Structure 1
Amino acid sequence: MKAIILFMLVVILAEKASGDALLPERSYRILMLLPVSSRSHMNIFVALAEALAHRGHKIIMLTNQPSQTTHPNILEVHHGLTHMALAKRNMFHERKNSSTGFAVFPKILPAMARDLYKVPSVQDLYEKRKENDLLVVDHMFNEIVYPFLHELPFITVAVPGIDTRHSAVLGNVLNPSYVPNLWTSYPFPMSLWQRLKNTALHIWISFYWRHWGVVPRIQKEISVHFPDLPPLLDIERNQSLTLMNTHFSITTPVPLLPSQVEVGAIQCRLAKPLPQDIESWIAGAGPAGVIYFSLGSLTRGDSMLPEYLQVFLEAFRRLPQRILWKYEEQLEGASDNVRISSWLPQQDILAHHNVKVFISHGGLLSLQESIFHATPLLVLPIFGDQPRNGMFVEDSGIGRTLVWEKLTADSIVDTLTDIINNTKYKEDVDRMSASLRDQPMTPQERAVFWTEYVIRHRGAPQLRCPAAQLSWVEFLMLDMMGLLLLTLLVLLLLIRRLLRGISAILLIGSCKKKRD
């Protein structure tokens, strides 16, 4: 009996010691800055904020999105500016834009930089910025908040995952011979022409955004508010690390620095019970199963062009499966096997064993959630990185891709039938899901650890790669190569003069012999 009591005491003390070791030294105050964001970007930040808040930290979020969390440790501050009226943009019209939907930012971002610091709530956050232990910034589109970061420790969150521009800022220049650019991808191995195009896009995207079309215009507006502030791109170099929404199992594996931490699928979670009406409807589909259809948070289903809508309605009439469709308005002409709703619990639906296929726009978060819950995909890319994601789905064998302009009822029916009946798609996504889940710690735990690490180590300068402080001339050793070429040129000139001198001496000697 004494042995049992002693054993229980040891277990209790061990658990207590382990728990104390995991607790942070104190409650940190963390300011998250994403005044320019979409709903998908907000989802990643909310996942990170809630993970930190569960640890007892106080989180303040500056955002342009509606509130998405009720956690008592999270305060959401909405700046109220209306420049980013993304909900009013029809993403199907953006398909005709060669800039992949981002041509608006050279106008919107400088205007926001001009107006943001006039908002009282933003002014208050700026004046109290030094009260925070750490600042966290959405790395994409948010150069307008870099004044907050000056002389303070900060990290970034790379929602798109691998962004070659951002990686270069950290000192890790990725090789365009195999690393795709932000918007497009090519089959591997790339041909000479594809490598040439990929390299050109690597250079052009970075140059246009950072040095010509966007950041210089933002810098001009910021300099009006903060004339003594260092250049924005110099401030950006001082980030301690970045949390990257990617994982090597679901993207192109690349070499990473210690300051590049993979937290891909951080928003993914285990399934919760579905509402009873949805559960009954999915279970009632029988062996044929259910097809889930959603175009994401940015593209509304009712923004679909009429010709595409009619093609889907015709295709769904011919399918034996039930269709669960995220559609924001009333839908006329739908068959009895179609159920629509303006909101659906996507992860809980994807986790259901009777959901056979996910028809998706190919957004990165939807792709990650489908892989996490092992559901094959039919991808219909609309804009941005979605065509690249669609190519990944095809190449990895976890689904199929169709193009909107070539869409027909026959192609939809045939493709969905192939995905459902051909077991290789389910087997491949099962394997990828197992690889994604097979980690020593969850993405949430990893993100929390490294965020707290930066705070504990006062910005963790030991994580920063020295290459981040080098100019392109120094990094590529152009000055050294120039010096070597100059030395070679001088050497060649000296050899030439020496040979000419020797030739002249020999010629003079030959002339003397002839005279003698």
Structure 2
Amino acid sequence: MNKWILIILSLAFLSNVCAYKILVAFAYPGKSHSILGEGYVRHLLEAGHEVTYITAHPYKKPHPNLRQILITSVIDKFEFAQSLDVTKMLAKEVDFKDMFGIYEVMVTIANRSLTHENVQKFMMDPNEKFDLVVAEWLYHHLYAGFATIFNCPYIWSSSLEPHPVVLDLIDEVGNPAYFPDHMSPISPPFSFTERVGELWNLIYLYRVLWFVRDTEEQAFRDSFGAAAAKRGITLPNLYDLKYNSSMMLANSHYSLGDPQRLPTNYVGIGGYHIQDEIPPLPKDLQKLMDSATDGVIYFSLGSMVRSETIPVELKTQLLNVFSKLKQTIIWKFDGELENVPKNVHIVKWAPQPSILAHPNAKIFITHGGLLSTTETIHYGVPIIGIPLFSDQFLNIKRAVRKGFALEVPLAYDTPAKLEVAIKEILSNPKYREKVKELSFIYHHRETKPGKTLVHWVEHVIQTKGAPHLQSPALHVPLYQKLYLDLVALIILGLMIVKRVLKALCCSKTQNKKKGEDKKKKRS
């Protein structure tokens, strides 16, 4: 009897489970972005959905409901990775604040991914159908085209904390008086000059978007034109399409960034890429960290910076600083080093979350990417930030302001300043206390970020694109938001009143003059 009840309950449960077909488009060749893409893949597969994943880095866990569209060849032509040269950064030969250059390079990379033969073959198949597209936003809007080809709703995914350009896609930009651009090195509250600077940054950014608009539109038609023609679809303008998303899921959380006024269809899922069960460390690292009685300092400048581009002088000085410490150093370094001190262990690949989760982890020296700062809050480890580009400067500034980090700028005196910062964090418990406090805030949520992700993906599908979440601000022109029509009406009214009063005054003056003239004639 119990057996039949179990079977009936199982069938009832299965009948209520809907497996949707979801396309996850994370085609950017950067490894850290593929980690975010894999987060979507993992959670959606666990929820029972069928996932098609466009990526340059294969997901290494086979699953019967997973199909991958691989574009690994684009990694060889990854221009942005080639520019991440530490020696050139030190010489100021690389300008990561050139937004014109960044947007153009990102459009070029995305276009190369979309015109890859595997992606084109996939889109040209008329039998391909999807319930939803998850499209990564990364300085371009091209992946929105998948929603047109497959005639389904789409969700933007942002890898950054909320900032003006992504919010403009679903609502409107934040006020620059207190809402910094993601490339800005400052945090609110702002001084007068900083407020003016942030306003100028916003104006400049929209000037950039205007100038790259035609380039992006052409790339959009090059990428999706053939597939649209085969399906008998007329491509819309990308400018209109990019505002047609259902919502935005973002790798953000107020424990990491600043509390902001956000629209309903912006949902922060910061930390969704972190697995609930911590993967075990390799045996050699496990033994190393277990035996580190004075603790471990983990040093990594991320997955994109090539270690061989660090000047020899700098590497030698860093090793000298590390040799003076009692702590064990794990340095993620993909090249070869000579004269390595006994307490320094070089690894070409490091299971970062597993290292940070170990109770002996004392400090994380990081470039300040949002994945790294998220993981340090998740596991409660204070950091020393050496920001290199993009949002890393703002991430580290926020971490310093929140009290769990110190910043050491990249320069030839970085090793000396790093030594001072290490000693400060090891000797002062306030940094660890603060990061533990923020870690509690980070974990204290109604649901885990992965479940939140799945909930909103299913909600958008089940409500046919979630039109009830879309902000009315998208349909209000700028002149109406600023009440410029009202200002014009008031000015016009004042001009009319001025003319009327002037006419009345002139008329009164003329009548008075005529009266005086009549009196003179009578006399």
- TM-score where L is the length of structure 2: 0.89
| Alignment partner, residue 83 of structure 2 | 89
* Aligned match for 1:35, one of 27, 34, 37: 27
Q: Is 1:138 aligned with 2:144?
A: no
Q: Unmatched 5+ residue regions in structure 1? A: none
* Aligned match for 1:216, one of 209, 214, 217: 214
| Alignment partner, residue 333 of structure 2 | 327
Q: Is 1:164 aligned with 2:164?
A: yes
Q: Is the 8 A contact 2:307 2:333 kept in 1?
A: yes
- Go from structure 1 to structure 2 and tell me whether the alpha carbon gap of 1:71 and 1:114 turns closer, same or farther (over 3 Å shift): closer
Give the Cα–Cα distance (whole angstroms) in 2 for the partners of residues 195 and 59 of structure 1: 44
Q: Which moved more, 1:35-44 or 1:142-151?
A: 142-151
Q: Which moved more, 1:179-188 or 1:106-115?
A: 106-115
Q: CA deviation at 1:164?
A: 1.1
| Alignment partner, residue 97 of structure 2 | 100
- Go from structure 1 to structure 2 and tell me whether the alpha carbon gap of 1:344 and 1:331 turns closer, same or farther (over 3 Å shift): same
Q: CA deviation at 1:337?
A: 0.5
Q: Is the 8 A contact 1:109 1:141 kept in 2?
A: yes
Q: CA deviation at 1:86?
A: 4.2
* Amino acid across the alignment from 1:273: P
Q: Which moved more, 1:315-324 or 1:485-494?
A: 485-494
* Aligned match for 2:42, one of 43, 47, 50: 50
Q: CA RMSD in A?
A: 2.8
| Alignment partner, residue 191 of structure 1 | 191
Q: Is the 8 A contact 1:241 1:259 kept in 2?
A: yes
Q: How does 1:440-459 map to 2 (within 5 A)?
A: 440-459=446-465
Q: CA deviation at 1:68?
A: 4.6
* Per-residue CA distance 1:57-93 (angstroms, 9 max, x = gap): 1111112334454333222212344543444333423
- Go from structure 1 to structure 2 and tell me whether the alpha carbon gap of 1:319 and 1:111 turns closer, same or farther (over 3 Å shift): closer
* Per-residue CA distance 1:377-432 (angstroms, 9 max, x = gap): 00001111111111112111101000112525432222101101100000000000
Q: Which moved more, 1:334-343 or 1:491-500?
A: 491-500
Q: Is the 8 A contact 1:47 1:266 kept in 2?
A: yes
SS at match of 1:131: coil
| Alignment partner, residue 76 of structure 1 | 68
Q: CA deviation at 1:121?
A: 3.6
* Aligned match for 1:275, one of 279, 282, 298: 282
Q: Is the 8 A contact 1:94 1:383 kept in 2?
A: no
Give the Cα–Cα distance (whole angstroms) in 2 for the partners of residues 189 and 351 of structure 1: 34
| Alignment partner, residue 173 of structure 1 | 173
Give the Cα–Cα distance (whole angstroms) in 2 for the partners of residues 388 and 405 of structure 1: 18
Q: How does 1:65-464 map to 2 (within 5 A)?
A: 65-79=57-71, 80-81=73-74, 82-92=76-86, 93-94=88-89, 96=92, 97-100=94-97, 103=101, 105-107=103-105, 109-110=107-108, 113=111, 116-117=114-115, 119-125=117-123, 127-128=125-126, 131-150=129-148, 151-208=151-208, 210-212=209-211, 214-223=212-221, 226=225, 228-270=234-276, 271-286=278-293, 288-405=294-411, 407-464=413-470
Q: CA deviation at 1:272?
A: 3.4
Q: CA deviation at 1:108?
A: 5.9
SS at match of 2:255: helix
* Per-residue CA distance 1:184-205 (angstroms, 9 max, x = gap): 1424321110001111112212
Q: Is the 8 A contact 1:237 1:469 kept in 2?
A: no
* Amino acid across the alignment from 1:159: S
SS at match of 2:57: coil
SS at match of 2:411: helix
Q: CA deviation at 1:154?
A: 0.5
Q: CA deviation at 1:94?
A: 4.9
Q: Is the 8 A contact 1:318 1:413 kept in 2?
A: no
* Amino acid across the alignment from 1:89: S
Provide the identity percentage.
27
Q: Is the 8 A contact 1:33 1:62 kept in 2?
A: yes
Give the Cα–Cα distance (whole angstroms) in 2 for the partners of residues 491 and 234 of structure 1: 42
Q: Is 1:502 aligned with 2:501?
A: no
Q: CA deviation at 1:37?
A: 4.6
Q: Is the 8 A contact 1:46 1:68 kept in 2?
A: no
SS at match of 1:485: helix
Q: Is the 8 A contact 2:171 2:471 kept in 1?
A: yes
Q: CA deviation at 1:128?
A: 4.3
* Amino acid across the alignment from 1:98: D
- Go from structure 1 to structure 2 and tell me whether the alpha carbon gap of 1:515 and 1:99 turns closer, same or farther (over 3 Å shift): farther
- Go from structure 1 to structure 2 and tell me whether the alpha carbon gap of 1:338 and 1:244 turns closer, same or farther (over 3 Å shift): same
Q: CA deviation at 1:142?
A: 4.3
Give the Cα–Cα distance (whole angstroms) in 2 for the partners of residues 511 and 316 of structure 1: 103
Q: CA deviation at 1:137?
A: 0.3
Give the Cα–Cα distance (whole angstroms) in 2 for the partners of residues 358 and 197 of structure 1: 32
Q: CA deviation at 1:114?
A: 7.2
* Amino acid across the alignment from 2:281: L
Give the Cα–Cα distance (whole angstroms) in 1 for the partners of residues 446 and 336 of structure 2: 46
Give the Cα–Cα distance (whole angstroms) in 1 for the partners of residues 320 and 364 of structure 2: 18
SS at match of 1:404: coil
* Amino acid across the alignment from 1:211: W
- Go from structure 1 to structure 2 and tell me whether the alpha carbon gap of 1:492 and 1:442 turns closer, same or farther (over 3 Å shift): same
* Per-residue CA distance 1:192-251 (angstroms, 9 max, x = gap): 10001111112212330x211x33212124345639422102001110000011111221
Q: Is the 8 A contact 1:34 1:142 kept in 2?
A: no
- Go from structure 1 to structure 2 and tell me whether the alpha carbon gap of 1:123 and 1:273 turns closer, same or farther (over 3 Å shift): closer
SS at match of 2:133: strand
Q: CA deviation at 1:24?
A: 6.0
| Alignment partner, residue 474 of structure 1 | 480
Q: Is the 8 A contact 1:39 1:65 kept in 2?
A: yes
Give the Cα–Cα distance (whole angstroms) in 1 for the partners of residues 164 and 103 of structure 2: 19
SS at match of 1:325: strand
Give the Cα–Cα distance (whole angstroms) in 1 for the partners of residues 96 and 279 of structure 2: 39
SS at match of 2:176: coil
SS at match of 1:309: helix
Give the Cα–Cα distance (whole angstroms) in 2 for the partners of residues 502 and 64 of structure 1: 82
Q: Which moved more, 1:501-510 or 1:356-365?
A: 501-510
Q: Is the 8 A contact 2:156 2:245 kept in 1?
A: yes
Q: Is the 8 A contact 2:70 2:118 kept in 1?
A: no
| Alignment partner, residue 490 of structure 2 | 484
Q: Which moved more, 1:101-110 or 1:389-398?
A: 101-110
Give the Cα–Cα distance (whole angstroms) in 1 for the partners of residues 350 and 113 of structure 2: 36
Q: Is the 8 A contact 1:393 1:399 kept in 2?
A: yes
- Go from structure 1 to structure 2 and tell me whether the alpha carbon gap of 1:304 and 1:111 turns closer, same or farther (over 3 Å shift): closer
* Amino acid across the alignment from 2:446: P
- Go from structure 1 to structure 2 and tell me whether the alpha carbon gap of 1:506 and 1:306 turns closer, same or farther (over 3 Å shift): farther
* Amino acid across the alignment from 1:285: A
Give the Cα–Cα distance (whole angstroms) in 2 for the partners of residues 118 and 47 of structure 1: 24
Give the Cα–Cα distance (whole angstroms) in 1 for the partners of residues 61 and 481 of structure 2: 43
* Amino acid across the alignment from 2:390: G
Q: CA deviation at 1:104?
A: 5.1
Q: CA deviation at 1:294?
A: 0.6
Q: Which moved more, 1:95-104 or 1:186-195?
A: 95-104
